[in-house]
Every structure is written in structure tokens, then in C-alpha cells.
Structure 1
């Protein structure tokens, strides 16, 4: 039975110091992210003990509260309504000043790209459907329309990146979008920089990100120096002019070189060290998800999709979730004869979280099962490494597996799969990787993930059904 979102929101706010202590409210697919004025006011144990809270990740002044897909949207709305009524929030700079520079940079990049994920998923699925129709020759009258719908967002994604970048870094969003639009404007083909004509889209999302960052800095500099009566005229004009010229005659070329290097490096990595690269990426991705740092990979995925039509990294990383599913299944089987209340609660958690895990949402299993128990988290990483090595091995043989969009993984990634040899081989290799990760995660956890007998219960709280994350 689902908890009432309003009650959950009230309980969460009570344990983080009240609405007045919250300076920012955001969410991703599974996590409510609250930035706090005073992180020491948080009742960490009480927050983790709330029904419906699957885990809590401290991140400087931010608390990432894992609620699961669907639920997080409803609870976030209730929390935002209560925080808004309390007169929050403050500026982005104040919200992030307590974090280190590296974590701050990653968090802000994630804040730029995470809001774009729903459109990337929807357009990616439509692109895959359109490709299937083209390959089979069905509904030829519909494919041009599907192509236009699926491609339009990606063609203009630079504008959205610019808008979100300026918003995140304290500039005027529409000015960030206006400068970033230069990157994709067809007329840039008439501009010569460094001895060559520019190409529309050169630099992609990286160029748009850099252009909007520059626009924000220029806007702030100009606004602090012009009279108030001229601000409405001079500030936007100088911002667009200066940032636009620097974008045309520097940033597009530089960002294009970086984007090309990313694509070249990804292809080389898989072609020469595919199995080893897959082993490493698949094995290390769960810790990134645990820390909430996986969102920082979105610009790389997006760059690869812009260049090649798909990202070859996502199917490798998706193996981590499959290893997690195998590990959870092993825990479920190993505890089937234990009738104690804590074990019954654990098995209930596994049953409720497995559907989301199969669809690539791993946080419920991470925070509800493997991480609190300790060793199953490591054996789940082993499963992800094995699945990644399987997919990477076929890349070494010349068959690459890619995803036309980012966001889902697990079984939900199948509609987005493609590759250099078509959808069929890509889907078959990806399925083989999932099965490998399931099997290795299950076997490693069954054999090594839990001590024999009831000794594993020392990892569990005395309160029925609650799991204590490791210190």
C-alpha cells in the first residue's frame, strides 16, 4: 500500500529541520534532492526510518532522499508547495557554497541536463520506432513525420542546454538560450574561423554549455556597470553580441575538437580494450549511482548521440543494474527458510523493488537491500562487471551496441537499442549481457554475499523492516 505523498512530504520536512531550513527542492527519476541551510538540523536516523524512504545520501548541504520512480514526483510537488509557502529558496550560489568545487561542478552540470531526460527518452523511443518502420518498409507515409518529431528536439537541444545553464548559474535563461542558439543556426556555415567554415551544430551541447556560461558571466559584468535606466537596452545587447562573437570565433571550434575527441576515444576504447573497458565501467557504475554522480555522464552520452546517433557507453553501464537484480534474487533465495520478522521485511522489500530494478531503476535495491547488507553490494558490482565485459567483448569483435537516448536501462532500454550492425544484433548482445550480469550477480551473492546462518542479521536494525546503511 502506497504512502500518502502529503504525509510523506510533511514527515520528511519535519526531519530535515522544517520548510524554513530548505533552500532548494529538486528531483530526478528516483530521488528527492533537498539543499539545506543547516545540514546539522537533519534527523538522519528518523529520516531513514520513514515508511517509503528507501535510502538517504548525504551530499554536503544536500540530502538525496530515495523514494523510487513515480512516488518521487508526487512527494516533490508536496514538498515544493510547503517550502514555497515558507518563502524559499535563495540563489544558487548560496545553496552550493558549502560544497567542494568538484562536487559543485558535477551537481550543476547534472542540474542542467537532468530536466532534458524525459524529452531525450521520448524522442529516442520514437527514433527507434521510426528506424524499425524504415527497415521493414511499413507505413512509409508515416516515417517522415516520425523522423521530424523524433529529430527536432535533438536538433535544437543546444538551445535548451543554454537556457538551463543560464538558469542554473544565475543568468537570464532566455539570454543563455539565445547565445547557445548560435551553435545550431544554419547561417554559421558562412562564418570562417581558424581558416575553415563552421558547421551548424559544431561543438554540440558542450559548445552550448560553454556559450551560456560565458553569457552569464558577461551579463553579470555588464549589469553591474551600466546605469539602471540603460540596463534593459545595453545588458542583453552586449551579452548576446560579446558572447555570440566569442562562441563563433572560439568556443564552437574548441568544443567541436573536444566533442570529436570524446567520440574518437569511445570508439578506440571499445575497439581495442572492449572487454576490459566494459568490466571496469560495469563494475564501477553502482558506486556512482549510490553517490548520485552518474548524472555527470549525461553530457558525454549526449555528445555521442549527436555525433554517432547513439551512445555506446549506456549499454555497458546498464549492466550494473542487472548485477544488482541478480544479487537481490540471491538474497531472496538464501533467506527463504528464515521466518524472522527482519528477514520477512527484507524479502518484502526485494519483491517490491525488483520490478523497478528490472526496468533499470536500481536505487530501491541499492538502499533497501545490497548496500545495508554490505557484501551483496560488492557482488552486485561483480555481476555488472561481468555483463559489461560481455558487451565490450563483442565491441572488440566489431559489433557495437548503443542507445539512441539516455535515461532508462534494464529491460526498458530495449526500445532504444541500435548499433553499427542494426537493431537485431545489438538487442541480442545486450540481452546476453543482461543474462550474464544476472547470473554472475546471483551466483557471487549466493556463494559469498551472505554469511551462513543468521549472522547476517547484525547488519539490520532492531526495528522490524528497517535497514541501517553502513557508516
Structure 2
């Protein structure tokens, strides 16, 4: 007997209501082994993938899209909402009674779910991809603080340049810089937690990287400087500490474990860090900064073309978060990352392509309805709804969206070659949401002008390439042949609100 249609929760708290709805739709508390969130997604590890009611999850009014990345079922909710829904989701899981054996209702269902998980593991669980995802997981929880500090730093810079509120600017400077000064400690804590160590030991091992007293230490004939190696040094120190801690746990007797293990872990890790890791990571970080700047200054058009054109496939694969350590290193060194504004052009190409699809498919109400609902999120840098709801299912428009991103990236790269560098003081947002974080070597106004121009080029290029090359003649005929079967003679009715048309899936190309 088929499941009854799920009725959305109507409680006062909309985020808790959304969490309750989604918990039921993904198979209940017993089917969820872990829940976390990034900027835009609720990320779930599930016991049985087949127990998820996909169509109803996608049709939920709070859901912008669904992504499957390895063993993770990711529900796109948008910035801000993802964190709040995740907290409510975890509260509801904690309050739920222990699951019984009835979570898997049939042997066939369990076998199908096991087969699906095994296939995804076979295709996605390569050592390289798993390592990149785990490193990205170290930095994702830090993004909200990076955004907040970046915006405060930008506001402080504007006030200082304008000579306004001199009594307030020191406070804003302290608020913006305090977190960044101790960023290595937070990276150490998250690294140990992600890789199976004790978080506080990971933080303590990484703390030496930012300790002012390291100036009295020399490595390879050079005195160390506080912060040398930055997040790369902190990441390496915490990884080493976690490995040493696990080694100690295997042979240290339980009676003295609480004394011997942390002491030995911090001692060995500290010696390696101050006499090797800090210097090596500092050189690596310097190379990253010099390389990024050289790339854009000397090959800006080509670099922007490649980076802007390839970023959407990275987002599709979920590998874009592996770039977070690079962005963070550049922000530590220069105050902003020159890579993010170039990569953000991919979203502009996606938006332009979606508008072209909307114009070309006048006869397809379902795809146009999807674009109407997903386009606002795309404008502020949340690209998954347009990727998975529009361009990727249609095929060619995904490629033409990449072409639009390449054009926007080339525009920003061109200005880097001409001497106007554009960067972002934090990571996370893109699209219009990146404007408050934009900064550059020629000041805020010049950086905003170049970034805005790049977005415009990306929009226009994505639209034109998709309009003229995004569909074959046969595909246009087939996609525009979709007929509205409702007994409705009003051509101006709104597909968002009128009948089931708004809930139908986009037609395949």
C-alpha cells in the first residue's frame, strides 16, 4: 500500500516545522546516522537511502534542491536557513525514541538500499576525493565567522578611509582581527575532530603556530615568526598530533593514559612543528600567494577563462570546498583572496544560461516555474538549484553556463593584468552577496566596479551562448511541446501557485 502524502508541519517555528517534515521524509530518526550543515545544505548520512521519499523532499516549499555526494544526502536549503533547520533537525532526532527494527520495512528495500550505497561507494570513495572532502570539512564550520569578520573588516576600512567615527574603528578592527589571529587554533580543533583525535589536543598542537614566543626559535637558519605557515601549518600540526595520539592510545596503559598520551603527543608534535612544519608550511603558503598573484597578473585572461569555466563542474562534484584552505591562506597573507571573485563568475554564467532557457522554452511551464523559484537564489550565489533543477538535466545548457562563467572570469582576469586586482575578504558568499566583501589594491570602488562588470559579462555571455547554442532544433521542439493538461483557460495563471503544475519535475532533455 503506497505511503500517504506527507502534510507539512504547521507549528509556529518555520525552521522546526521544516526540520520535522524533512525528518519524516528521509525515513525518520532511525534512518539518519549523522546530520551536519554547510553554508547552504543539510548534509545527512543515511542507513537506507531507499527509505527517502525523494519526490516529496524536492517538492517541499523550503527545499531548493537535492544533491547526492558519495554517501551523503544533501538537501539544499539556502544560506542562513540551513544552519537553523539543522539545529532543529538534531533536536528532533535527540528527542525521538530509540528506533526499532521496523525502520527497514522489507528485505527487498534493504537490499536495494545496500546495493545503491555500494555502487556510490565504488564510484566516489577514491582516496583523493575522500581526503579532499575531509579537509574541506575542517574549514566549512569556520565559514560563518570568516564572513562576519570579513564584513566587519570591510566596514572598518571604509570608515578609516573616510575618517569617520575614529572612536569606533579600533573596536571594529579588534573584532575583525581577533578571530583571524587565532584561526590556527580553530583549524587544529576541527582537524582533530574530523580525523578522530581529541579536539583540544589538536587545538593545543596548532596554537604554537600563532604563539608570539616563537620569535626566539630559529629553524633552518631563519627565526620563526608568529603565524608562519598559517592554516597550512596548523592543519599539518593537528594531523600529526592526531596520528601520534592514536599511536599512544595503542600501547600506553589506561592507568597513565591521561598523563602520558597528551604530554607525549604535544611534545613530539611541538618539536616537529617548530623545527619543520612551520617553516615548510610558511614556504608553501608564500608559494600559494605568489603563484595566485603571478597567475592573474601575467596570464589573467587565460587563468580567469579556465577557473571561471571549470568551477561549475567542481560545484557539481562537491569538490569546490577543497579550495577553502587556499582561500584562507590568501586571506591570511594579503587580507583577501584573489581567486574567489574569478570563481564566482561561474554563478553569473549559470544565471545567464537559466534566463536564456526561460526565454527559449516558452511552451514548457514546468521548467520555467523551476527557473522562477531558483533564479533569486542563483543571483545571491546559491547555484545548486539551477544546476540540478535546470542546466544539468538539460545537458547543453550546463556547458553553455560554463562558457558564461569563463567569459566573466576572463573579464576579471583582464583587469588583474591591467593592474586592478580584485579579491574577497572572506569566503562563502558569491553573486550579489559578495559585494560587501569585495576589496582590492585600488580600493573598494574600483574592486566593486570590476567585480560588477564581471558579473554583467557572465550574465550576458551565459545568456547569448545558451540562447544560440544551448539546444538542438529537435530538443526545442520536444521541450516546447509540453502541454498544460489542466482545465484552465487563463494564459496568465501563475505556475507557482496554480494546481499541481508547480510541483512537477522538469522535463528531461
Structure 1 and Structure 2 fold alike (TM over 0.5): yes
Q: Tell me the SS of whatever aligns to 1:311.
A: coil
The structure having more radius of gyration, on CA atoms, is 2
Q: Of 19, 22, 43, which residue of structure 2 is paired with 1:33?
A: 43
1:400: how far off?
1.0
Note if contact 1:26-1:34 (Cα within 8 Å) is conserved in structure 2.
yes
1:76 maps to what in 2?
A: 86
Aligned to 2:338: 312
Of 437, 450, 463, which residue of structure 2 is paired with 1:429?
Answer: 450
8 A contact 1:375–1:449 mirrored in 2: yes
Are the counterparts in 2 of residues 379 and 441 from structure 1 also a CA contact under 8 Å?
yes
2:384 to 340, 358, 363: 363
Alpha-carbon shift at residue 347 of structure 1 (Å): 2.7
In the alignment, structure 1 residue 111 sits paired with structure 2 residue 149: no
1:167 matched residue in structure 2: 193
Q: 1:460 to 1:206 in 2, by over 3 A?
A: farther
Q: What's the Cα RMSD here?
A: 2.7
Pairing 1:144–2:170 present: yes
* 1:295-338 CA-partner distances (Å, limit 9, x unpaired): 111000000111111100000001011111111222223344x3
**Contact 1:399-1:420 at 8 Å conserved across structures:** yes
1:57-108 C-alpha deviation (Å, 9 max, x unpaired): 22222122223334433432343234434669xxxxxxx9983322211111
CA distance 1:134–1:357, change in 2 (3 Å): same
Change (3 A) 1:82 1:252: same
Point out where structure 2 has 5 or more consecutive residues left out of the alignment.
1-7, 100-119, 486-499
SS in 2 for 1:224: helix
Q: 1:209 to 1:469 in 2, by over 3 A?
A: farther
Matches within 5 A, 1:198-209: 198-209=224-235
Instruction: Tell me the SS of whatever aligns to 1:26.
Output: strand
Distance in 1, Cα, partners of 2:506 & 2:97: 32
What is the 5 A alignment of 1:268-347? 268-336=294-362, 338=363, 343-347=364-368
**1:323 and 1:442 in contact (8 A); partners too:** yes
- CA distance 1:299–1:459, shift in 2 (3 Å): farther
Contact 2:370/2:506 (<8 A) preserved: no
- Which of the residues 181, 185, 192 maps onto 2:218? 192
Equivalent residue number for residue 456 of structure 1: 479
SS state at 2:344 partner: helix
Contact 1:39 1:62 in 2 (8 A): no
Alignment length (residue pairs): 458
CA contact (8 A) 2:35 2:86 kept: yes
Query: In the TM superposition, what is the alpha-carbon distance from 1:365 to its structure 2 partner?
Result: 1.8
Aligned 8 A contact 1:373 1:459 in 2: no
Q: Deviation digits for residues 132-161 of structure 1, max 9, x if unmatched?
A: 112122222221111111111111100000
Q: Distance in 2 between matches of 1:417 and 1:115?
A: 22
Q: Among 7, 31, 43, which residue is 1:21 paired with?
A: 31
Cα shift at 1:348: 3.1
Counterparts of 1:370 and 1:143 in 2: how far apart (Å)?
A: 45
Equivalent position SS for 1:402: strand
Q: Summarize the Cα distance change of 1:70–1:470 in structure 2 as closer, same or farther, 3 Å threshold.
A: farther
Q: Shift of residue 40 of structure 1?
A: 5.5
